[in-house]
Amino acid sequence: MLSGTRARGVQPLRQRRVRPRIWILDFYGSAVGKKAVMAVTGIVLLGFVLVHMLGNLHLYQGAEKMNWYGEYLREIGEPVLPRTGLLWIVRSLLIVSFALHIHAAATLTLMNRQSRQTKYQGGRDYLAANYAARTMRWSGVIVGLFVLYHLMDLTWGMGGADFTKGHPYENVVASLSRAPVAGVYIVANLLLGMHIYHGAWSLFQSLGWSHPRFNHWRRWFAMAFAAVIVIGNVSFPIAVLTGIVE
Ligand code: HEM
């Protein structure tokens, strides 16, 4: 006689096809996983933006120092690594982080839209979270487009200004002495500051580091980080336009 389970058509465990599960993909498939990926890749990108701004302060030391710095970035790691070896390792990490950051943001947005529940959640907290998410989305898109323009301008030399490979000082001055371009850099960096402020504030929450006593410091950290980046980066086009850097 068949047992009750088999009689009802349920296969015994041994015969069931079990699809191998890759835990990291399962994790990334969840909202918590996507938020964690956004936070970790956000930290990598924040690190880059800070180091890049600090490096660009060489502009204030003149052409020789700035151009030396550009060259030095290509030589770090030699002779253990070939020339630009370490630079390409860092670039790869940045490209992967940037792509994952955008993918996680886009899929999280879709997930939220598909989730019926959100439609029925009311209240101020929901509205505030929704407003912040929308702000992050459009500021993120504009900053992404700015990075593309910036690479064309100062890395690939396709921005329409005089460009000499290996001469970042002259390239920055040639590009930013055009007032409309300097304006684009200023506006993009103000939006970047807004994006950084919200991002640096929420990344702690995404990683589960949230506590009422700690939240005060979180806000200060986010504000200070965004302010340092914005002040540093906006100072460059202003310095070129006013002739402080020429
Ligand atoms: C006014 C502010 C900025 C100035 C003056 C500036 C300057 C430069 C220069 C001169 C280079 C070329 C370096 C070289 O080839 O040696 C460069 C590359 C780059 N910049 Fe900026 N930058 C600014 C803001 C930003 C911001 C806000 C971002 C990102 C949000 C950014 C992302 C990049 C990236 C990804 C590269 C390519 C790095 C590489 O491939 O090695 N920059 N920048």
Residue 220 has pLDDT above 80, yes or no: yes
Summarize pLDDT for 97-114 with one digit per residue, the tens: 999 999 999 999 899 888
Split at pLDDT 50, 70, 90, the class of 126 is low
242-to-59, 139, 177, 195, 236 alpha-carbon distances in Å: 14, 28, 9, 27, 10
Nearest CA to 56 out of 241, 242, 237 is that of 237
User: Is it true that the peptide bond before 79 is cis, omega within 30 degrees of 0?
Assistant: yes
Split at pLDDT 50, 70, 90, the class of 149 is very high
Write down the domain spans for the chain: 27-241
Mean pLDDT of 61-73: 98
In percent, how much of the chain has pLDDT > 90? 75
Split at pLDDT 50, 70, 90, the class of 11 is low
Mean pLDDT of 174-191: 98
How far apart CA 29 and CA 103 sit, in angstroms, is 12
* pLDDT at res. 10: 52
Mean pLDDT of the chain: 90
153 DSSP 8-state letter: I
Burial class (CB in 10 A: 0-12, 13-18, 19+), 233: buried
Residue 14 has pLDDT above 80, yes or no: no
In this predicted structure, which of 80-94, 100-114, 146-160 has the lowest mean pLDDT?
100-114
Burial class (CB in 10 A: 0-12, 13-18, 19+), 176: buried
Nearest CA to 244 out of 62, 56, 55 is that of 62
For a substitution probing ligand 1, which of 155, 189, 225, 245 has the most ligand atoms within 8 Å of its CB? 155
Find the distance separating the first CA and the last CA of the chain, reported in whole Å.
93
Residue 159 has pLDDT above 70, yes or no: yes
In short, whether 113's Cβ falls inside 6 Å of ligand 1 is: no
- Cα(150) to ligand 1 centroid in Å equals 7
In this predicted structure, which of 93-107, 118-132, 163-177 has the lowest mean pLDDT?
118-132
27-241 — its CATH code?
1.20.1300.10
In short, whether 185's Cβ falls inside 6 Å of ligand 1 is: yes
SS3 label, residue 99: helix
Q: What is the dihedral of CA 85, 87, 88, 90, to 10 degrees?
A: 130
In short, whether 155's Cβ falls inside 6 Å of ligand 1 is: yes
